[in-house]
Amino acid sequence: MYTYEMHCHTAETSKCSRIVGADLIDFYHSLGYTGVVITDHFFNGNTTVPAELPWAERVELFAEGYRAAKRRGDEIGVDVFFGWEFSIRGCGNDFLTYGLDIDWLHAHEDCDQLHINDFCDLVHRDGGYVVHAHPFREAGYIDMIRLVPRKVDAVETINACRKPFENRMADQYAGNYGLHGFCGSDNHRGPLPKLAALGLDFRADSVRAILEAVMRDEHSLHLYDYTESGALLEVPNEKIFADPS
Ligand SMILES: [Zn+2]
Ligand SMILES: [Zn+2]
């Protein structure tokens, strides 16, 4: 099995991340992951990129975390791909975006300002994919759970940082609407109590190839307990989606 981290953040680009791109790749390399998709917070989220700069400069700064990760990946043999996390500003509703590149961002000035429905339509028009990250996350700053089932391609049914109940609700939501399941660690710091991995039976040459496999349901979802010695132990499904009672 080839394993991929589909959701993580670098300190170069995401204000809330505590780990730089190169170290993040070293971490996943030590665990035997095949690839990592860098999904830093976009301009409508917790970004390090100043809002007042011209668009082209902002996009270049935005790419820094990914580029640092990619350089390290090229050195040590981890496939590093580009994506981003689009947010409804201030609402805590987040959408992982895959299959479009830095040039696409350059060509779509102010796309961070789009309504979520229009953003999803634009991404799809250009061959990209949108995955709803942790749709049932609960937190003090989130005023509502907001679902857009007709606009997303997949749902993060396993987020390594969310509670079993939140993942269980996400899994039921995906099942009810026939949306593909997806997983990510939402990693902001390297070692976490749990880690997610998306599994494929082939080595993907692009992030688009990963998403195409997801659309065909030719992927597997995994959650691992991360032990102090650095070993990964697979968490069984009944524990991932444990009943809250
Ligand atoms: Zn963050
Ligand atoms: Zn995230």
Ligand closest to Cα of 45 equals: 1
Mutual orientation of helices 55-62 and 64-76 as an angle, nearest 10°? 30
Residue 186 Cα to ligand 2 midpoint, Å, equals 5
Averaged pLDDT score across all residues of the chain = 96
Task: Tell me which residue has tokens 């997303």.
Answer: 152
Q: Which residues contact 30 (CB under 8 A, 6 or more apart)?
A: 230
Q: What is the CATH number of the domain that holds 9?
A: 3.20.20.140
Residue 147 lies in a domain: yes
Residue 237 Cα to ligand 1 midpoint, Å, equals 26
Q: State pLDDT tens for residues 111-162.
A: 999 999 999 999 999 999 999 999 999 998 898 999 999 999 999 999 999 9
Inform me whether the pLDDT recorded for 245 exceeds 80: no
Share of the chain above pLDDT 70, in %: 99
SS3 142: coil
- Which helix (H) or strand (E) segment is 152 a member of? none
Q: Which residues are placed with Cβ below 5 angstroms of ligand 1, an ion?
A: 16
Both tokens of residue 1?
């099995």
Residue 245 lies in a domain: no
Ligand closest to Cα of 37 equals: 2
pTM (2 decimals)? 0.97
Inform me whether the pLDDT recorded for 204 exceeds 70: yes
Give the pLDDT score at 149: 97
Q: Name the residue range of residue 180's domain.
A: 2-240
Mutual orientation of helices 21-30 and 64-76 as an angle, nearest 10°? 40
Do the Cβ atoms of 13 and 57 come closer than 8 Å? Answer: no
Number of domains in the chain: 1
Ligand closest to Cα of 87 equals: 2
